[in-house]
Amino acid sequence: MKKLINVAIVGASGYTGLELIKILLQHPHFKITYLATTEGNTTSSKLHPSLFGIFDLPVQKIDFKQIAKSSEIVFLALPHKTAMQTVQELMKFEHLKIIDLSADYRLSLNRYKNSYGEHLDSENLKQAIYGLPELFREKIKNAKLIANPGCYPTASILGVSPFLKFLNENEEIIIDAKSGVSGAGKKCESNTHYVTINENMFAYNPLKHRHEPEIEEKLEIFGNQFHKVHFVPHLVPVTRGMLSSIYIKINNLLTDPLEYLREFYKNEPFIRIRENPPTMKDVAGTNFCDIFARQSGNLLYIETAIDNLMRGASSQAVVNANLISNFDESIAIPKISIVP
């Protein structure tokens, strides 16, 4: 019988923290031994009433020595900047492996500065591995610090990357994406207030969203040439889910884009190629990314669907934890949609 690996969740109060708890409680090889928030002084079932009678672990204020003493893998579900300060301290402990769900280690130094401001941990930034398994699986296996991708970049990169070799250099990519409200986190803002979002839909920060350079950077690394991304996110009145509609001009007509996608992703357990455009419900509560493609002349339309809390955050983080632990990456990862 394999020894249980102790794991900590720092930032356990949010939606992604709850999803991490739910997945890890089903994992045969991971044991949650430490929960923390910036304030502490509560329990998991008080933070998340759905856990009442099922899982009731004390939630402590962040203590780096206690984290290191009680765990081997740490999931960070903290806001940007706060995560960076926490990583700096945790990286001092050699035995710890860290999976950061913030954007603090996803970008190169210059792109980070342009999108988020000053980076205070450039040394650890150099070590971070981008945690998108389909593109960087072998590097993830040996990582100490994983930058877990967010929902918009995950949905966009997985849709575009198979077709990069059909794009002329500097060809532009247009991405029109829709996200459920949970992607904005628990803190209520004017845009996520019920009165604002109910029976409503709107774009926010079009062509200036900070995930745009992240998508550009990872596509450039994977495809070895730069493509300008034009990214427009929308908030829609659903709790969870994400649809990305992607438009690119290809330089060589494909006989069958769906067959090409099936071949490209043939060994990937969490990619499904669909005959018809996928919906948010198809993937809700799962780690799947469903992809559809259709061409008209040299215009290629791609649609991807993911669960923003799962594939865009928590379940992808556990896949990465499986990889760094030399487990089958599918262990405990949800595959059945939670909605009809």
Q: What is the pLDDT of residue 339?
A: 87
Closest CA to 240 of 312, 290, 320: 312
Which sequence spans correspond to the domains of the chain? 5-148+313-324, 152-306
Q: What is the edge-to-edge ordering of all strands in the sheet holding 173-179?
A: 202-203, 229-235, 173-179, 242-249, 299-306, 289-296, 271-273
What is the pTM for the complete model shown? 0.96
* Res 188: pLDDT: 73
Q: Parallel, antiparallel, or unpaired for β 30-37 and 271-273?
A: unpaired
Burial of 76 (0-12, 13-18, 19+ CB in 10 A): buried
Of the candidate ranges 11-25, 71-85, 177-191, 221-235, the one whose mean pLDDT is the lowest: 177-191
The answer to whether 100 and 148 have CB atoms below 8 angstroms apart is yes
Q: What pLDDT score does 165 carry?
A: 94
In the structure, what pLDDT confidence band is assigned to residue 106 with cuts at 50, 70 and 90? very high
Q: Name the token pair of 9.
A: 């969740």
Least-confidence region, from 30-39, 41-50, 180-189: 180-189
Topology adopted by domain 152-306? Dihydrodipicolinate Reductase; domain 2 (3.30.360)
The mean pLDDT value for 310-338 works out to 97
pLDDT of residue 217: 96
Pairing of strands 58-61, 42-43: antiparallel
- The segment with the largest mean pLDDT, out of 109-118, 152-161, 247-256, is 152-161
Helix-, strand-, coil-residue percentages of the chain, each rounded to 5: 35, 20, 45
* Other beta carbons less than 10 A from residue 28's beta carbon: 11
Backbone angles phi, psi at 337, to 5 degrees: -60, 145
Q: Please say if the pLDDT value at position 102 is more than 60.
A: yes
**How much is the pLDDT for 191?**
81
Average pLDDT, integer, range 249-271 = 95
Per-residue pLDDT at 61: 96
Out of 8, 62, 151, 246, which one is annotated catalytic? 151
**DSSP strands (E only) in the chain:** 5-10, 30-37, 42-43, 58-61, 73-76, 97-100, 129-130, 145-147, 173-179, 202-203, 229-235, 242-249, 271-273, 289-296, 299-306
* 188 given a catalytic annotation: no
Of residues 192 and 15, more confidence is placed in 15
Taking the C-alpha atoms of residue 314 and residue 140, their distance in angstroms, rounded to an integer, is: 16
- Residue 122: HSE in the Cβ half-sphere, 13 Å Cα cutoff: 8
Mean pLDDT in residue range 83-87: 95
DSSP-assigned letter for residue 4: P
The Cα–Cα gap between 92 and 65 comes to: 10
The string of DSSP letters for 117-145 reads ---S-HHHHHH-EE--HHHHHHHHHT-SE
Confidence of residue 282 (pLDDT cuts 50, 70, 90): very high
Alpha-carbon span 90 to 76, nearest angstrom: 11
| Separation of alpha carbons 76 and 54, rounded Å | 23
The domain made up of 5-148+313-324 has a fold known as Rossmann fold (3.40.50)
Q: What is the mean pLDDT of residues 83-100?
A: 97
Query: Which tokens belong to 68?
Result: 């290191």
Question: What average pLDDT does the chain have?
Answer: 95
Residue 183 has pLDDT above 90, yes or no: no
Please report the pLDDT score of residue 184 as a whole number: 75
| The pLDDT value given to residue 77 | 96
Q: What is the percent of the chain where pLDDT is above 90?
A: 91
DSSP letters spanning 253-290:
--S-HHHHHHHHTTT-TTEEE-SS---HHHHTTS--EE
The residue-averaged pLDDT of 45-73 equals 96
Residue 243 has pLDDT above 80, yes or no: yes
* CA-based nearest residue to 237, from 179, 302, 297: 179
Q: pLDDT-derived band of residue 1, with 50, 70 and 90 as boundaries? A: low
Mean pLDDT of all residues in 108-118: 94
Residue 2 confidence (pLDDT): 67
User: What average pLDDT score do residues 203-222 get?
Assistant: 94
